[in-house]
């Protein structure tokens, strides 16, 4: 029985689904008896008139539904005939077959494949334009057991990200890079890419690329193959079924090498972009074969195991992060263990205007979290003005590893002004808390599912000697209300960080005053009622 497998994107329907056709040829021996008893062969209902079985399915590694626009959850955003869909399928199948799904972290680029995280049911990170190899480096070095994939277009990898890819390859980072080369910027409407071929028209080279003016196309596979470190570099093409099968093998091999911890692997995939090329999907594939392959020859440019250095290289001592930051010896304050024992972590957003100590409050909290042995993250966001412009930060304190420092739905909002209260209140989880720096919650502010506590922090700090301590009053209130960290830790952090003794004294009092305010007033008068009155 001959078994021929043909894989092609059924992008006519703009779906990622791939039609696999299996041709089944029955091997029969004809004998006289057969002829006498000639019976019409049974027609297998599964086969179509050409003798192929059509299978419409997608790899289980893809999400069942793509959580994108409500009306488009069964299909990808790629154009009909786009090579990204086929490349996605090859990667998904390889990860599935190699049993790597749960270990994989996929780094999506900027470009048409920016939404790859909607499709791959693996760990996903989306990064800035061209930076995927740098981000992948960080991820792989901090999680060496993971399979880290940097998936990039030619504008992303060979234009804005040239430095990142060259240096990641040169360092021999143990990541896999899939480089989808369609000789154009797809997402932004067809500008010339570094890989645009001589004579090829684009919106920025409407006369066709000229070597005298725009230079020659970059051959990234060949360029990277001049470096010492890479272990595997191959160029493949999605031009026809035979080449797609070769691409399939290359994708698999690159991932296997990463699984075996061998070194840097790179697969360049020549890929059709029918929309920008102005061709139908079939003609676009032909164009890959007839125009791209002669310019970018298919080849294995590197396939070797790294040589063991002749001289043993010095390995720097491995130190824990806490050790490197010199935070281990500093014990938390006296009552730390008591508080920590019921601490479940908190996601906090602190918002106000520049100059109110919004970002500093966040930094103090994560320093405290580190001292208490928690996982922490701090993500600041502010405008061009250093003072008076709006600023906020996301603070995550967790017993578990933090997936993202971005907090879309905080448990606690510390609103340092009314603008921030109104702007961010809707983000707070139902049942969450808002600590508002104000004498009372504005009369028309209504958030019945939240606990809103108004704290006259600026006034309290002013009475203590400096409005600069407003953020510390809020910190005291936060610690008392949520018990997210121990006040003793706060004191030890303040003692280390605040160098001016008079200010430290005010901060100490401010911390206590914030805590006392919660104890004495919060649950009596300062919490907003469903009718909106504090």
Ligand X SMILES: Cc1ncc(C[n+]2csc(CCOP(=O)(O)OP(=O)(O)O)c2C)c(N)n1
Binding site for ligand X (CB under 6 A): 110-113, 129, 153-156, 160, 180, 182, 185-188, 193
Residue (273 or 415) nearer to ligand SF4, CB = 273
- One residue of 148, 276, 393, 479 binding ligand SF4 per CB under 6 A: 276
Pick what 193 binds: ligand SF4, ligand X, none; C-beta below 5 to 8 Å, kind-dependent.
ligand X
Q: Give the span between the Cα atoms of 449 and 252, in whole angstroms.
A: 51
Does 281 help bind ligand SF4 (rule: CB under 6 A)? no
Cα–Cα separations (whole angstroms), residue 67 to 34, 70, 289, 444 = 57, 7, 35, 36
Supply the minimum distance, in Å, between the C-beta of residue 110 and ligand X: 5
Supply the minimum distance, in Å, between the C-beta of residue 128 and ligand X: 7
Q: Give the span between the Cα atoms of 92 and 7, in whole angstroms.
A: 14
Supply the minimum distance, in Å, between the C-beta of residue 307 and ligand SF4: 38
Residue (14 or 528) nearer to ligand X, CB = 14
Annotate 407-444 with DSSP letters as a single string: -SS-SEEEESSHHHHHHHGGGSPTT-EEEEESSS--TT
- Contact characters 49-88, ligand SF4, x per CB under 6 A: -----------------------------xx--x-x----
The residue range among 215-223, 270-278, 453-461, 480-488 that interacts with ligand SF4, by the rule CB under 6 A, is 270-278
Cα–Cα separations (whole angstroms), residue 143 to 139, 147, 325, 477 = 6, 9, 20, 37
Supply the minimum distance, in Å, between the C-beta of residue 177 and ligand X: 13
Cβ of 315: how many Cβ atoms within 10 Å?
6
Residue (121 or 156) nearer to ligand X, CB = 156
Annotate 249-273 with DSSP letters as a single string: HHHHHHHHHHHTT---EEEEEE---
Pick what 110 binds: ligand SF4, ligand X, none; C-beta below 5 to 8 Å, kind-dependent.
ligand X
Residue (110 or 346) nearer to ligand X, CB = 110
Cβ of 249: how many Cβ atoms within 10 Å?
13
Residue (155 or 476) nearer to ligand X, CB = 155
Residue (275 or 489) nearer to ligand SF4, CB = 275
Q: Could you identify the residue written with the tokens 């060979």?
A: 158
Pick what 82 binds: ligand X, ligand SF4, none; C-beta below 5 to 8 Å, kind-dependent.
ligand SF4
The residue range among 62-70, 154-162, 179-187, 375-383 that interacts with ligand SF4, by the rule CB under 6 A, is 179-187
| Residue 169 three-state SS | helix
Residue (98 or 160) nearer to ligand X, CB = 160
Tell me whether strands 412-415 and 346-353 are parallel, antiparallel or unpaired: parallel
And the tokens for 42? 């049974």
Supply the minimum distance, in Å, between the C-beta of residue 235 and ligand X: 16
Pick what 129 binds: ligand SF4, ligand X, none; C-beta below 5 to 8 Å, kind-dependent.
ligand X
Does 270 help bind ligand SF4 (rule: CB under 6 A)? no
Supply the minimum distance, in Å, between the C-beta of residue 150 and ligand SF4: 17
Residue closest to ligand X, measured at CB? 153
Pick what 188 binds: ligand X, ligand SF4, none; C-beta below 5 to 8 Å, kind-dependent.
ligand X
Pick what 155 binds: ligand SF4, ligand X, none; C-beta below 5 to 8 Å, kind-dependent.
ligand X
Pick what 493 binds: ligand SF4, ligand X, none; C-beta below 5 to 8 Å, kind-dependent.
none
Q: Greatest CA span in the chain, whole angstroms? A: 112
Supply the minimum distance, in Å, between the C-beta of residue 202 and ligand SF4: 13
Residue (273 or 393) nearer to ligand X, CB = 273
Which residues does 119 contact at the CB level (< 8 Å), separation at least 6?
16, 62, 63, 66, 76, 88, 92
Q: SS3 string of 108-150? A: ECCCHHHHHHHCECCEEEECCCCCHHHHHHHHHHHCCCCEEEE
**Of 167, 179, 180, which Cα lies nearest the Cα of 230?**
167
Cβ of 414: how many Cβ atoms within 10 Å?
32
Q: Could you tell me if 393 and 384 are in contact, meaning their C-beta atoms sit under 8 angstroms apart? A: no
And the tokens for 383? 């405008």
- One residue of 110, 112, 368, 435 binding ligand SF4 per CB under 6 A: 112
And the tokens for 178? 């899939």
- One residue of 186, 357, 438, 476 binding ligand SF4 per CB under 6 A: 186
Chain residues that interact with ligand SF4, rule: CB under 6 A: 78-79, 82, 84, 112, 182, 186-187, 273-276
């Amino acid at each position: 029985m001959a078994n021929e497998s043909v894989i092609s994107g059924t992008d006519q329907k703009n779906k990622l689904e791939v039609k696999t056709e299996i041709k089944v040829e029955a091997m029969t021996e004809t004998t006289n008896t057969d002829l006498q008893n000639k019976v019409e062969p049974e027609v297998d209902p599964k086969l179509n008139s050409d003798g192929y079985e059509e299978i419409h399915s997608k790899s289980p590694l893809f999400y069942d539904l793509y959580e994108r626009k409500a009306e488009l959850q069964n299909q990808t955003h790629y154009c009909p005939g786009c090579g990204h869909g086929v490349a996605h399928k090859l990667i998904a199948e390889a990860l599935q077959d190699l049993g790597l799904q749960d270990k994989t972290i996929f780094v999506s680029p900027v470009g048409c494949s920016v939404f790859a995280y909607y499709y791959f049911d693996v760990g996903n990170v989306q990064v800035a334009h061209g930076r995927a190899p740098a981000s992948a480096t960080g991820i792989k070095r901090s999680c060496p057991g993971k399979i880290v994939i940097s998936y990039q277009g030619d504008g992303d990898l060979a234009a804005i990200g040239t430095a990142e890819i060259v240096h990641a390859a040169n360092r021999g980072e143990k990541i896999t890079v899939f480089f989808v080369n369609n000789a154009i910027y797809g997402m932004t409407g067809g500008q010339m890419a570094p890989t645009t071929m001589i004579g090829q028209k684009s919106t920025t080279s409407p006369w066709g690329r000229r070597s005298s003016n725009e230079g020659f196309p970059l051959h990234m596979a060949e360029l990277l193959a001049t470096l010492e470190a890479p272990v595997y570099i191959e160029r493949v093409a999605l031009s026809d079924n035979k080449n797609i099968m070769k691409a399939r093998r290359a994708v698999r091999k690159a991932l296997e090498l990463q699984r075996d911890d061998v070194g840097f692997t790179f697969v360049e995939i020549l890929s059709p972009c029918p929309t920008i090329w102005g061709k139908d999907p079939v003609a676009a594939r032909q164009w890959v074969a007839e125009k791209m392959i002669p310019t970018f020859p298919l080849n294995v440019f590197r396939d070797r195991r790294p040589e063991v250095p002749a001289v043993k290289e010095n390995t720097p001592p491995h130190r824990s992060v806490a050790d490197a930051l010199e935070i281990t010896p500093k014990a938390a304050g006296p009552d730390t263990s008591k508080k920590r024992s019921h601490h479940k972590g908190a996601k906090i957003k602190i918002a106000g205007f520049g100059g109110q100590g919004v970002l500093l409050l966040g930094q103090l909290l994560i320093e405290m979290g580190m001292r208490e042995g928690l996982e922490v993250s701090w993500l600041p966001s502010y405008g061009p003005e250093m003072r008076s412009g709006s600023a906020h930060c996301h603070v995550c304190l967790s017993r578990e590893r933090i997936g993202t420092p971005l907090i879309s739905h905080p448990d606690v909002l510390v609103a340092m002004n009314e603008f921030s209260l109104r702007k961010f209140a809707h983000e707070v989880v139902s049942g969450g808390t808002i600590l508002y720096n104000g004498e009372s919650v504005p009369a028309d502010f209504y958030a019945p599912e939240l606990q809103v506590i108004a704290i006259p922090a600026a006034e309290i700090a002013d009475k203590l000697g400096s409005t600069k301590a407003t953020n510390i009053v809020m910190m005291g209130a936060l610690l008392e209300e949520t018990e997210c960290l121990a006040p003793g830790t706060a004191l030890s952090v303040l003692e280390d960080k605040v160098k001016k003794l008079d200010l430290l004294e005010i901060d100490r009092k401010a911390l206590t005053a914030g805590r006392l305010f919660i104890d004495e007033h919060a649950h009596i008068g300062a919490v907003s009622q469903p009718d909106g009155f504090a």
